[in-house]
Chain A
Amino acid sequence: MYAFEYHRPTSVKEAAGLIGQVEDPKFLAGGHTLLPTMKLRLAGPANLIDLGQIAELRGIERSGDTLAIGAMTKHAEVANAAEVKEAIPALAELAELIGDPHVRNRGTIGGSVANNDPSADYPAACLALNATIVTNRRKIAADDFFQGIFTTALEDGEIITQIVFPIPTQAAYAKFRNPASRYALVGVFVAKHADGVRVAVTGAGSNGVFRASEIEQALSGNFAAEALDGVTVSEAEMNSDIHADAAYRAHLVSVMAGRAVQTAVARG
């Protein structure tokens, strides 16, 4: 790790104020992506702005048809929160599938969404649930937010404050873990909303999280696993690595989509 200055603001305003004042800043949330990269000397920000003391960035709140989750809310909190389990059980289940207990008790939803790792789980939930990413500057629709591997609509120094999820009628997440890292090799989030079906896929795409239109179309007429019989996704846009090549990933997308729909339907 290279040396850095450490800042611990207690409000979003204070954190935002540091931007522009200090050189080469980086926000620190759970640190479960950032710190390993710094330890390996692959990142070396001069100033770390720890968001951990900002109370307004935490918490889970349901109001009407939406569930709002503060950016600094930890995966374990989402996994265990009664509000989440009741409103969007699929989201609690997704959080429970992230990493291991250490990761879930440190990593945050805001950090995961800001990072947009192509194998992270939350981006699939955001996209399928048509979430709104709220920052200290604006509100961004999930469809506009995720822009490819490790790339988002966030501007320099912009802070995610909240993610707001519309509550779907039915939803589920099916994850096929990378055997080694336990990130998603393929993760499929299916969600049935009053105005249609949205299906998002993480882990598989060579350009990061994406919506699977073939699957959405097949399910919009009939939200049932049988509707996916014979539905394939193209391997052209799929990622390929030592764990899974494009053909296998494309195949897993269909399989996991079917399993997610089964779970969603069974839940009723």
Chain B
Amino acid sequence: MTATGIGAPVRRKEDQRFVTGQGRYVDDFNRPGQTYAYFLRSPHAHATIRSIDTGPAKIMPGVVAIFTGDDLAADKIGGLICGWMIHSKDGSPMKAGPHPALAQGKVRYVGDHVAVVIAETLAQAKDAAEAIVVDYDVLPAVVDTAQATKASVQVHDVSPDNTVFNWHLGNKDETEAAFARAKHVTKIDLVNNRLVPNAIEPRAAVGEYDFGTDNYTLYTTSQNPHVARLVLSAFIGVAPEHKLRVIAPDVGGGFGSKIFIYAEETVCVWAAKKVKRPVKWTSDRSEAFLSDAHGRDHVTHAEMATDENGKIIGLRVHTTANLGAYLSTFSSSVPTYLYAPLLSGQYDIPAIYCEVDAVYTNTAPVDAYRGAGRPEATFVVERLVEKTARELGQDPAEFRRRNYITQFPHATPVIMTYDTGDYAASLDKALEIADYKNFQQRKQESARRGKLRGIGFSSYIEACGIAPSQAVGSLGAGVGLWESAEVRVNPTGSVEVLTGSHSHGQGHETTFAQLVSDRLGISIDQVSIVHGDTDKVQFGMGTYGSRSGAVGMSAIAKAIDKVIAKGKKVAAHVLEASEGDIEFKDGRFGVAGTDRSLAFGEVALQAYIAHKFSGQDLEPGLKEGAFYDPTNFTFPAGVHICEVEIDPDTGVTSIQRWTAVDDFGVIINPMIVEGQVHGGIAQGVGQALLEGAFYDQSGQLITASFNDYCMPRAIDLPSFQVGMTVTPCPSNPLGIKGCGEAGAIAAPPAVINAITDALGHEDIAMPATPQAVWRAAQKARMPMAAE
């Protein structure tokens, strides 16, 4: 291992730039002659547009142009797409309503795009937007997930009862049989609360068109610029793929919300050509609340069957998933293939059956948000496991241990084949760090102070490195899920890595360089990582689902292997040895059994000057590319233990201890991994205690600013005790599993299990706000008064 190689807690190379304000985000790009776009958004959740009068607005100062849905239609610009086809139980395809970038005839949620004003300044664009007269025929709205199919309101013509699909997975008959012979059945009703992603950098786009070359450029806050280009060209049709350059520069957080291809960037590219000037749009925080794709929003009933030995023998789940007013880019995959296949958790459950009804409502579209489907699955499994253990009078840790999968590979009844893991090892370590054996003592000590203490477990599993392409293709994905890399060695021996992954907080400039450093024996300062520009990187699938380590770095590793192989050929010529005798070790190419060797940099130089070999039998240069398609998902897993103390007088929950023991396989940079764990837990605690997006019955978003939508703050979180166990992943060359979402997946059930433990009853929903907990604590004190 070099000092900057795999496993070294190297400080992040990119942080110097970020913390000194040198980062360049989309909003920092200002193009000559730039104009500003402002979107007029619907104030109504559901309305027919009778007419739009832009006349008075068009003549206001500074206005360059105003466009509506009719203008896009006239230019044959297509609607936004959903890239994952789901079929219902009866085989029928999901019912996808039209999703125009600017409304055509109807608006379907508050924040829906009605028109765009393009002006010399943003203030002028806003002034003009106020002068646009829209005649709405306001319709009743449907917002409630559980009631959507029963409502008299119809969001899309294609779906009379607001159903997008009725999907299922697993084996119904076997599951029914398991329940029939069960000794005990535990039931639970759960709501997985809707969340607003709230990346610190709001979305933004700058569209530009060059009349000389007929080239379009889009600067956009994207987690996957190549996918954005593909969708914008092949499906929406704003520009041909080879004429469109998409640049996703520094991006300030995504959490999924920047995977998707939205109306705003579509309009900016298209309008740039129309107005013959660059068009810039930057979301403000209020727009972000209304129009970034939200996360979660499930209503679930689930049941777990156990036998006389306390073994889980069956699980059945019914979920209604709210997808909002339109199908966002990957929305349909989240409550289906990213959800139900995780319902086996870490447990050996022979029979599982899950039904998912996806519905339309007059709310913002819902799509992937940190964890995407897996937090929802983990919440179901871990709440249910905890409740089962309590009903059976068993220790929740031991009940889990008894049901853990111990033999690998393990095929679950819901598609997945877990490759490796050691769940008991993580549990043991977590129990140790959490000082579980002295919990009762701490609980009594709290009781003496009038406080309720509780402990909650979450023994989660997730599937990361979303892939392989063949598998996801058979499940309805519109894209392949491999990754690409190109390793360019310069004559001086420095290296540029072009990757299809995209960093928006993950620290790729450091971790990817560590891999190169490790493999080629050069310092990370000799390596630069190039990403986020479709003119530089040929193609890539981007970053989400904790895939950049397992898939993106594996592609780099594969390309590095090719570089080393080519380097051996070069070295053989220079050292006048046979290629088979060349070894590459510690950054040097040497002839086996001799002291003759060349440093990596010397071989690089020889490759480019090509003096020592004929360019006929060996090509000059040292540059290799690779596409890597994994053989399986990866399965990070671990145990989180949360200990809370509740003040029954106020309902305030304070997290006293947090233990996280995760198995992420091989770790490239433990410091960055810990950071990912911390951030993930903070987000999960946010969901459990603080965050919730709420619409009123008319479809107005009540939690539309930080005044009402509560984000976690440092004071809401304890100091985390983070431990690791390692079972290397056999499905990729680096043994990496992925760590980006684990905290957000593990945390919510750990918190709620701790609160319900403290309260002594199960009746608390997320977010467990002080008011909710106070009320639940009242009920715990006075069981007779409970309704």
Q: Which residues on A are within 8 Å of B, measured CB to CB?
A: 1, 3, 40-41, 176, 179-181, 242-245, 248, 251-252, 255
**Across the two chains, which residue of chain B brings its CB closest to A248?**
B771
* B-chain residues with CB within 8 Å of residue A255 when the two chains form the complex: 649-650
Q: Which residues on B are within 8 Å of A, measured CB to CB?
A: 123, 126, 286, 649-651, 690, 694, 702-703, 706-711, 769-771, 774-775
* B-chain residues with CB within 8 Å of residue A181 when the two chains form the complex: 706-708
Q: Closest CB-CB distance, B776 to chain A, in whole Å?
A: 12
The CA-CA distance from A243 to B694 in the complex, in Å, is 11
Report whether B769 and A243 are in contact in the complex, using a CB–CB cutoff of 8 Å: yes
Listed A/B pairs (6) with beta-carbon separation below 8 Å: A40-B286, A179-B769, A180-B711, A181-B708, A243-B708, A245-B771
Q: Closest CB-CB distance, B696 to chain A, in whole Å?
A: 9
**Across the two chains, which residue of chain B brings its CB closest to A182?**
B713
- Tell whether A248 pairs with B694 under 8 Å between CB atoms, given A181-B708, A242-B703: no
Report whether A244 and B706 are in contact in the complex, using a CB–CB cutoff of 8 Å: no
**Across the two chains, which residue of chain B brings its CB closest to A245?**
B771
Report whether B708 and A248 are in contact in the complex, using a CB–CB cutoff of 8 Å: no
- Tell whether A242 pairs with B690 under 8 Å between CB atoms, given A1-B123, A251-B774: no
The CA-CA distance from A251 to B647 in the complex, in Å, is 14
Chain A interface, >50% SS class: loop
Report whether A243 and B771 are in contact in the complex, using a CB–CB cutoff of 8 Å: yes
Report whether A179 and B690 are in contact in the complex, using a CB–CB cutoff of 8 Å: yes
The CA-CA distance from A41 to B770 in the complex, in Å, is 33
The CA-CA distance from A181 to B710 in the complex, in Å, is 7
The listed residue (A1, A180, A244) touching B710 by CB distance below 8 A is: A180
Q: Closest CB-CB distance, B708 to chain A, in whole Å?
A: 5
The CA-CA distance from A171 to B650 in the complex, in Å, is 22
The listed residue (B126, B650, B694, B770) touching A242 by CB distance below 8 A is: B694
**Across the two chains, which residue of chain A brings its CB closest to B710?**
A180
The CA-CA distance from A176 to B771 in the complex, in Å, is 11
The CA-CA distance from A201 to B126 in the complex, in Å, is 40
Q: Closest CB-CB distance, A22 to chain B, in whole Å?
A: 22
- Tell whether A248 pairs with B649 under 8 Å between CB atoms, given A180-B707, A180-B710, A242-B694: no
- Tell whether A252 pairs with B707 under 8 Å between CB atoms, given A41-B126, A242-B702, A244-B771: no
* B-chain residues with CB within 8 Å of residue A3 when the two chains form the complex: 123
The CA-CA distance from A180 to B774 in the complex, in Å, is 17
Q: Closest CB-CB distance, B536 to chain A, in whole Å?
A: 38
* B-chain residues with CB within 8 Å of residue A242 when the two chains form the complex: 694, 702-703, 708
Q: Closest CB-CB distance, A174 to chain B, in whole Å?
A: 10
**Across the two chains, which residue of chain A brings its CB closest to B692?**
A242
Report whether A248 and B707 are in contact in the complex, using a CB–CB cutoff of 8 Å: no
* A-chain residues with CB within 8 Å of residue B710 when the two chains form the complex: 179-180
User: Which 6 pairs from chain A and chain B are nearest by CB?
Assistant: A180-B710, A181-B707, A179-B710, A248-B771, A255-B649, A244-B771
The CA-CA distance from A233 to B398 in the complex, in Å, is 47
* B-chain residues with CB within 8 Å of residue A243 when the two chains form the complex: 708, 769, 771
Q: Closest CB-CB distance, B57 to chain A, in whole Å?
A: 16
* B-chain residues with CB within 8 Å of residue A248 when the two chains form the complex: 651, 771, 774-775
The CA-CA distance from A49 to B651 in the complex, in Å, is 44
The CA-CA distance from A252 to B769 in the complex, in Å, is 14
Q: Closest CB-CB distance, B774 to chain A, in whole Å?
A: 6
Report whether A252 and B650 are in contact in the complex, using a CB–CB cutoff of 8 Å: yes
Given A180-B708, A180-B710, 8 other A-B residues pairs in contact with their CB atoms under 8 A: A176-B650, A179-B690, A179-B769, A179-B770, A243-B771, A244-B771, A248-B775, A255-B650
* A-chain residues with CB within 8 Å of residue B711 when the two chains form the complex: 180
**Across the two chains, which residue of chain A brings its CB closest to B703?**
A242
Q: Closest CB-CB distance, A245 to chain B, in whole Å?
A: 7
The CA-CA distance from A176 to B770 in the complex, in Å, is 10
* B-chain residues with CB within 8 Å of residue A245 when the two chains form the complex: 771
The CA-CA distance from A54 to B553 in the complex, in Å, is 61
Q: Closest CB-CB distance, B521 to chain A, in whole Å?
A: 47
Q: Closest CB-CB distance, B120 to chain A, in whole Å?
A: 14
The CA-CA distance from A244 to B707 in the complex, in Å, is 14
Q: Closest CB-CB distance, A37 to chain B, in whole Å?
A: 12
* B-chain residues with CB within 8 Å of residue A176 when the two chains form the complex: 650, 770
* A-chain residues with CB within 8 Å of residue B702 when the two chains form the complex: 242
